[in-house]
Amino acid sequence: MKNNPMPAEYNAEQLSLSAFDRACLNGAEGSAIAKAMRFLVGIGQALGAHRLIDVEHCHLVGSYYSGVADVKFLQQLVKANARVRVPTTLNASSACLERKSPSPEADRAAARGVVELYTAMGCEPQLTCAPYHLPHRPSLGSVVAWAESNAVVFANSVLGARSNKTVQYLDLCAALTGRIPESGLYLDSQREPTCHVDCSLLPSGSWDFPLTGELIGLWLGYHCGTEVPILSGCDRTPGEDLLRGLGAAAASSGAVSLFHFEGVTPEAHQYRIQNLPGTQLTIGALTETAAPYRGIPGQAVSAICLGTPHYSLTQLRNLAEHMIGTNIRPRIPIYVTTSRYNRDALRNELLDGELAARGVQLLVDTCSYYGRAVPLPDGPVLTDSAKWAYYGAGNLGVTTLLGELEDCLATAASGRLTRAGSFPWL
């Protein structure tokens, strides 16, 4: 079985601890850190890890209100003066915490209460699912403990950093101690590709479309959901945003946490693909993957949702250029989610006002598919994100449609599904 962190023979005694780990356990760093270290040892033993290793950055999932027990857990740590030992950021929350936001005040207050407990422990209050857009992004070989699935697959695949999909509370205990059990994708052996996906049959021009990445990602998740796939057959270097969308989609429809791409991603050159079980990705397979999200041109659409994962500055600029160039007046809401960091960068370029003036609602801290973060759309939603299309349907109970940015803007102008772009598979 691939990617199973548990070795065949398990022995709790095999977890060896450093002097620092033992000092933490014995209370040298305070009672909160002792508890956090006991937690790490418990998880490390269960996972069959041989040791704990240093992490240089943590990204935590719990930055929203989930109930009284969670609040009690966090309050107890704050009361014991727990502080994170490494730079730590927070994932997108259930509400936008800014005063001028469409989130209900009760949701904002509940989320703010939890976020304040995390910031009291020294976490940075950037609420984003795209921590790799913040300064000091991890580099090749960096060990991080990130919880958000799109961030994990991006860090592993595109940056060559190392992270497992770190579960809640394990992420916080890693931040408090700067340590994590060495298991899963921290180990060289678990990063080796287990299957090969040959993309050479796809027309060369298809890599110009971000949607190609979204569809390949969806396909990968469905067909290689628990594997480490290695892709090949791309004659150019796809942009970072395409690779990001590919990973986010693969981590949604499947559990892909790492993919390699020959000639594209930083670790791919280490591996041979000759003897791996392989598949040739065809245009037909991608057309089939796109089918549930195609819709019927002319059908009514109730909203456009962009920015899942949080839009990059490049994507925001591109959107602004399109809006300015076409002078579209939307008849239905356009929601765009991003980080405060990217929003502020856009503001410095005086482009956020251009978007607002054209009726685009730029939202930070949250995602538009979280129940009440935006007013619930009552009909089909068109998005450029396969992740949104995949989760939005279940979360909000609406039909989700996929399109290029050009499709989204033309549809916004008419309120009816319009295929204005030249993407070949929709």
What is the smallest separation between the CB atom of 157 and other proteins, expressed in angstroms? 17
Q: Which range, of 38-46, 120-128, 293-301, 310-318, touches other proteins by CB under 8 A?
A: 38-46
55-94: contacts with other proteins (CB under 8 A): 61-62, 66-70, 72-73, 76
CA distance 262 to 268: 5
Positions 4 through 33 that interact with other proteins (CB under 8 A): 4-6, 10
* Residue among 20 and 73 whose Cβ is closer to other proteins: 73
Least distance in angstroms from the C-beta of 72 to other proteins: 5
Query: Are 48 and 6 contacting, i.e. CB atoms less than 8 angstroms apart?
Result: yes
Q: How does 14-37 read in b/e, with b if 16+ C-beta sit within 10 Å?
A: ebebeebbeebbeeebeebbbbbb
Pairing status of strand 278-280 against strand 303-311: unpaired
- Taking the complex as a whole, the smallest distance from the CB of residue 389 to other proteins amounts, in Å, to 17
CA-to-CA dists, residue 413 to 180, 359, 406, 423, angstroms: 50, 11, 11, 19
Smallest gap from Cβ 378 to other proteins, in A, equals: 20
- CB nearer to other proteins: pick between 59 and 358: 59
DSSP assignment, residue 208?
G
- Asked if residue 133 binds other proteins (CB under 8 A), the reply is no
* Size, binding site for other proteins by CB under 8 A: 32
Q: Which is nearer to other proteins, 35 or 310 (CB)?
A: 35
- 229-232: strand order across its sheet: 260-261, 229-232, 195-198, 278-280
Identify the CA nearest to 258 among candidates 230, 291, 289, 286. Answer: 230
Among 15, 21, 25, 48, binds other proteins (CB under 8 A): 48
Question: For residues 208 and 422, is the Cβ–Cβ distance under 8 A?
Answer: no
- The 145-184 site mask, x for binding other proteins (CB under 8 A), equals --xxx---------------xxxxxxx-------------
- Stretch of 2-10, 185-193, 215-223, 278-286 lying at the interface with other proteins (CB under 8 A): 2-10
Q: Compare residues 79 and 236 and give the one whose CB is closer to other proteins.
A: 79
Query: Does residue 376 bind other proteins (CB under 8 A)?
Result: no
User: Exposure of 277 by Cβ count < 10 A (0-12 exposed, 13-18 middle, 19+ buried)?
Assistant: exposed
Scanning 44-52, 207-215, 277-285, 304-312 for contacts with other proteins by CB under 8 A, the matching segment is: 44-52
DSSP string, 401-424: EE--HHHHHHHHHHSB----S--T
Q: How far apart are CA 400 and CA 393, in angstroms?
A: 6
Report the candidate in 161, 212, 215, 217 with the shortest Cα–Cα distance to residue 186: 161
Please say which residue, 166 or 385, places its beta carbon nearer to other proteins: 166
Please identify, using beta-carbon distances, which residue of 171 and 267 lies nearer to other proteins.
Answer: 171
Buried b (16+ CB within 10 A) or exposed e, 385-397: bbbbbbbbbeebe
DSSP state of 158: I
Report the nearest approach of other proteins to the CB of residue 132 (Å).
17
Binding residues (CB under 8 A) for other proteins: these are 4-6, 10, 35, 38-39, 42-43, 46-48, 61-62, 66-70, 72-73, 76, 147-149, 165-171
